[in-house]
Amino acid sequence: MVSIKVSSRGLPPILAATLRDAVASMCLFVYARLKGERLFFDRADFKHSAMLGGIFGINFLLLYWGTAYTDASRAIIFLYTQPLWIALGAHLLLPAERLTLSKAAGLSVAFLGLIMVFGSHSPELASGHWLGDFMELGAALFWAASILYIKKFLTYRRVSQFQTLFVQLFFSIPILAISALIFEKGQPLALTSLVLANFFYQSVLIAFVTYVLYLWMVHTYPVSRLASFSFLTPIMGVISGAVLLGEGITAILVAGLVCVLAGIYMVNRPAKVPSS
């Protein structure tokens, strides 16, 4: 989030998301070809390619665009409610991952934290921050939807993490490009070294390198267990927003963050095995 805020000083956010997916898809294309990996789904599964690309495109449209309206520290908290939506969706779609009483309590605590974050205000916060807040919350919902879709429809098909990532990046480009033309037409560019360095970080290191690893884990491990690996990300996002961008951190924002993290922990902690 901090990197997106910085690059947006010279590269409009939706255009940045479009170019990011284009660069990452090209990197993945070259890497997969060198490894002899297929990138597109079978023709019979084209509908899954289009669906994943659509979900992914809307996810990053909301994620990038939302940073124009709200602080990075708030955005990261709303975005990382994704494990909560995964837990709810998994309960409905994945029979092996039902909600327990403990998980339901965790969801309640986390949603209380969200209410607290929505209600927190620092003097530096823009008046239209609520729009960005809701965009980031929407991005979390679409992120969760993409993971659930993969687990529901693709886990038992002959589809690799390379294919899953490539179709999301590739088929999301038209959605993002059209959105950039509609909402950002005529906005100026200022491609400084700092802007370009942050764009490289987002497109190559994040959208290419870490996504390949992440989607391999999505194909391999239960989704509710994966969420715990991102437990520290909201904390680091809030700290980075304060240190690197000078964003105001209020007590109620911190309290809301604590509730959200506590809820995520309760949702994802391993169940106790009864002693024999």
* pLDDT at residue 250 tops 90: no
**Each residue of 199-246: pLDDT tens digit?**
999 999 999 988 888 777 766 777 666 665 666 778 888 888 888 888
Q: What's the pLDDT at 47?
A: 87
d(CA 227, CA 107): 14
**Each residue of 157-203: pLDDT tens digit?**
777 778 888 889 999 999 999 999 999 998 999 999 999 999 999 99
* pLDDT at residue 253 tops 90: no
Q: How many Å from the N-terminal Cα to the C-terminal Cα in the chain?
A: 47
Q: What is the DSSP string of 82-142?
A: HHHHHHHHHHHH-TTS---HHHHHHHHHHHHHHHHHHH---TT--TTHHHHHHHHHHHHHH
Q: What is the mean pLDDT of residues 64-93?
A: 87
Per the rule left: phi > 0, alpha: psi between -120 and 50, beta: everything else, 230 is alpha
Name the pTM for this structure.
0.85
Domain spans in the chain, listed from the N-terminal domain onward: 2-268
Q: What is the mean pLDDT of residues 61-79?
A: 91
CB atoms within 10 A of CB 195: 18
